[in-house]
Amino acid sequence: MSKEPQRSFDISTGEIPNHLAIIMDGNGRWAEQRGLPRTVGHKQGVEAVREAVKAARDLGVKFLTLYSFSSENWSRPESEIKELFGLLRMFVRRDLADLHRNNVCIKIIGRKQGIPDDILSLLDEAQNLTQNNTEQTLIIAFNYGARDEITDAVKRITQEVSEGKLTLDDITNETVSNALDTCGIPDPDLLIRTSGEIRLSNFLLWQIAYSELVFLDCLWPDFTKNDLEEAVKIYQNRTRKFGGLVMETGS
């Protein structure tokens, strides 16, 4: 995939995305290209997660959302699902103390139905331990699907209307945003997808209405700090209009 033209400048002098979201795609293909089981790709993907979290924090990204396990991933073979759950257990148990020490707050978004009890306990532990941390917020989208999220938000709002807490005229964009899993979290400024695929895969569909989208060719296990900086440079070369016009000085 051709890359966008970039000006030559120090990344630190440009605007750093306040909220970065990543669709981590390509673990299976990475393994298959090497004649390895898909599970090896997922394990290598966890190492890329570790590097991405640190690299984003070093750049000054305050909110980082990772698409860890989608609601559609349940259609994968049971053995692969068990492996993904096992890797999440390993990540939380191995990295939670380090994330806490680095003042990272962990939040989980997505439905809880179907998730094993021990994983739910681990996720709750991670959130409770880090809830007062302020350096960075790491949002893990687990058993997450944007359509499910919006459907659940509609149900919550409908319930409040039926209870007389809201009228139809009270329902605004802000009302919907506050009913989503990401309530209180700013919308992403930049969304990155790896592996060369150009689609959103049911991820943060409401929240990315005005996000900048960058699609990278690298497979997720190969993702490095350099790839993150490349995406941020592309972001810094764009002009964000939010549906309006950018007026030249003096016009």
- 73 flagged as catalytic: yes
Q: Quick check: helix, strand or coil at residue 105?
A: strand
63-70, strands of its sheet edge to edge = 104-109, 136-144, 63-70, 19-23, 190-193, 212-215
Q: Quick check: helix, strand or coil at residue 176?
A: helix
User: Catalytic pick from 25, 95, 181, 227?
Assistant: 25
Q: How many CB atoms lie within 10 A of CB 224?
A: 13
Decide the pairing of beta strands 63-70 and 136-144: parallel
- 237 flagged as catalytic: no
Q: Which residues pair with 138 in a beta bridge?
A: 64, 106
User: Catalytic pick from 18, 73, 102, 178?
Assistant: 73
| Helix pair angle (78-101, 117-130), 10° resolution | 20
Catalytic residue IDs: 25, 73
